[in-house]
Structure 1
Amino acid sequence: MKRILFGMIAIVLIMLLAACTEEDDTNENEEEEEEIPTQVETVEATEGDLVIDRLVYGRTSPSSTAPVGLQNPGEVDTLEVENGDQVEEDDLIATIATPAGNQDITASAAGEITNLEASEGDRVSTEEPLAVVADLDSMILTFSVTADVQKLFSTEDTLDVVIDDNEYEAEITEIGKMPDDTGLYPVEATVENEDGDILPGMIGEMSVPENRVEESIIVPTEAITRVDDEAFVYVIDGDQIANQIAVTVQETQSDETAIEGEVQAGDEIVVDGQLTLNDGSAVNVVEGE
């Protein structure tokens, strides 16, 4: 009888233990099924125009140069200037001792002395200018472009140009109608050089508007994800849920992209963390650095 009683007690204990184990497994599964929100960064979509720029590169040169020539060869008796000096028209540059007597050499224009290589006591000839007077107050940027790019320019256009990490405004002054020896078309622009920071021979990077998308939804280019040639963005709703929205890309710049789709200005668009999301994923929006 005791054996039967002990057996029944053992069966009851086994059943209780199995029930507790099953309950624990159920709780663990429920915990595993709880989704941990993905941390993401967002920005607001905007509405506006997206301008696509073409970058072209040119080289700077003085807006005008005036060579300082000699009438007769001779020896430099006195030298009144050095490279970098500013002179006015008719300022004395040098005195040259010649068999016919001393000659005073004056500036034929106002500007900055450049290309002066002679010193007092040197022999100089009429074959090369003694120096050059360059107008560096404004500089010429010369570009060589293809026929397609040449059509993007118009005279008197004012465009942005970057020279030595500084931004300037350049006015288009001349557009070549005939190609040069390389088959490219010359384009010239003028840049004011009030501070004298632009030197001859520097490289200028000009942004030329090539295309414009008007009144479009603009999002950061990094927000676009692509799957099987389809483009998507993730829009966060008020419940902190990421909704995958299919969009059509109209135009793309390096930083911004114009899109069409069910996205409105002011929508929160995911720009970081979107590669780990699915449609309907829970998210936690954090501020970027």
Structure 2
Amino acid sequence: MKRILFGMIAILLIAFLAACTSDEDANEDEDEGEGVTQVETAEVTEDDFVIDRSVYGHTSPTSTAPVMVQEPGEIDTLEVENGDQVEEDERIASITTPAGNQDITASTAGEITNLEVSEGDIVSTEDPLAVVADLDSMIVTFNVTADVQKLFSTEDTLDVVIDDNEYEAEITAIDKMPDDTGLYPVEATVDNDDGDILAGMVGEMQVPENRIEEAIIVPTEAVTHADDEAFIYVIDGETANQITVTIQESQSDETAIEGEIQAGDEVVVDGQLTLSDGSPVNVVEGE
């Protein structure tokens, strides 16, 4: 009987010790994970940092030539319609006038636009019969302030976005005198081989306004501000070190900084708000 009793006590004691060991292991695991922050990082780069100024303009044909009649009369035949391509001296229409029949020809090559008459209509010498426009290339005209006008130079090549498409534009004219609104017209020429650019469309151009050469660049979201100071967190093994930095220039996506940091360092871009200097971290990949 005593043997059975001792056996039962031994079994209970072993079970109790096993339970205590499991609790200790669980607590150790919990302690090890406590205080470790999951963060996302990005690599520091070194490059020229350019601040761009956005300017907006409208498109127009490179050249337009009105088609005029010499004598008023009635349109006898009409050889073209809007959108047709014509060559120089190609016949557009013939009209009957008091002085006899008259052929109307194109003074230049291009595309027929603004044709609003039909055969049998009476035309006068006051309004053009149509307009021949050169749409193979388009002009984008930007009206800018004097300060922005100084950012342009003729023959500069800049990107312009028109109808969500990006084109290469060459600055071809910079007016030195303001227009009636007090702004200075700047013209850029864009190839329109596909004919996708129509007159009157809005073009957005990014003009370099300021440049910092060989700047240390980090994602703007990596920079944290507190007590009138800016700092970032740099990954060192499994910890994040807080580095105070000076901001040189900043844009929505990137910021140029100075500080004890170099290209190739990994900086925290998500999770840094709960960090302090030397905090343990676990680097995870973002979505």
TM-score of the pair, normalised by structure 1: 0.87
Tell me, in whole angstroms, the C-alpha distance in 1 between the residues paired with 2:211 and 2:180: 33
Poorly superposed stretches of 4+, deviation over 6 Å:
27-30
Residue 40 (structure 1) aligns with: 39
The residue correspondences of 1:142-153 to structure 2 (distance < 5 A) are 142-153=141-152
Tell me, in whole angstroms, the C-alpha distance in 2 between the residues paired with 1:188 and 1:173: 6
Tell me, in whole angstroms, the C-alpha distance in 2 between the residues paired with 1:139 and 1:97: 36
Report the alpha carbon displacement of residue 276 of structure 1 after superposing the two structures with TM.
Answer: 2.1
Residue 253 (structure 1) aligns with: 251
Report the alpha carbon displacement of residue 36 of structure 1 after superposing the two structures with TM.
Answer: 3.8
- Equivalent residue for 1:241, pick from 239, 242, 247: 239
Tell me, in whole angstroms, the C-alpha distance in 2 between the residues paired with 1:119 and 1:253: 56
The residue correspondences of 1:42-57 to structure 2 (distance < 5 A) are 42-57=41-56
Amino acid aligned to 2:282: N
Structure 1 regions of 5+ residues with no counterpart? 1-23
Report the alpha carbon displacement of residue 31 of structure 1 after superposing the two structures with TM.
Answer: 4.8
Residue 123 (structure 1) aligns with: 122
Report the alpha carbon displacement of residue 275 of structure 1 after superposing the two structures with TM.
Answer: 1.6
Q: SS of 2:69's equivalent?
A: coil
Report the alpha carbon displacement of residue 182 of structure 1 after superposing the two structures with TM.
Answer: 1.3
Identical positions, percent? 80
Report the alpha carbon displacement of residue 161 of structure 1 after superposing the two structures with TM.
Answer: 0.7
Q: Mark the CA change 1:44 to 1:72 in structure 2 (over 3 Å): closer, same or farther.
A: same
Residue 79 (structure 1) aligns with: 78
Tell me, in whole angstroms, the C-alpha distance in 2 between the residues paired with 1:137 and 1:130: 22
Q: Mark the CA change 1:121 to 1:228 in structure 2 (over 3 Å): closer, same or farther.
A: same
Tell me, in whole angstroms, the C-alpha distance in 2 between the residues paired with 1:91 and 1:288: 63
Residue 167 (structure 2) aligns with: 168
Question: CA offsets per residue over residues 155-211 of structure 1, 9 Å max, x none?
Answer: 111111111111111111111111112111111111111111111101110111110
Residue 182 (structure 1) aligns with: 181
Check the 8 A contact 1:113/1:133 in 2, yes or no: yes
The count of residues paired between Structure 1 and Structure 2 equals 265
Q: SS of 1:104's equivalent?
A: strand
Amino acid aligned to 2:116: E
Q: SS of 1:121's equivalent?
A: coil
Q: SS of 1:196's equivalent?
A: coil
Check the 8 A contact 1:112/1:136 in 2, yes or no: yes
Q: SS of 1:248's equivalent?
A: strand
Check the 8 A contact 1:140/1:190 in 2, yes or no: yes
Question: CA offsets per residue over residues 71-91 of structure 1, 9 Å max, x none?
Answer: 111111111111111111011
Tell me, in whole angstroms, the C-alpha distance in 1 between the residues paired with 2:86 and 2:29: 87
Tell me, in whole angstroms, the C-alpha distance in 1 between the residues paired with 2:227 and 2:83: 62
Tell me, in whole angstroms, the C-alpha distance in 2 between the residues paired with 1:48 and 1:215: 5
- Equivalent residue for 1:268, pick from 260, 266, 269: 266
Tell me, in whole angstroms, the C-alpha distance in 2 between the residues paired with 1:158 and 1:30: 61
Q: SS of 1:48's equivalent?
A: strand
Residue 136 (structure 2) aligns with: 137
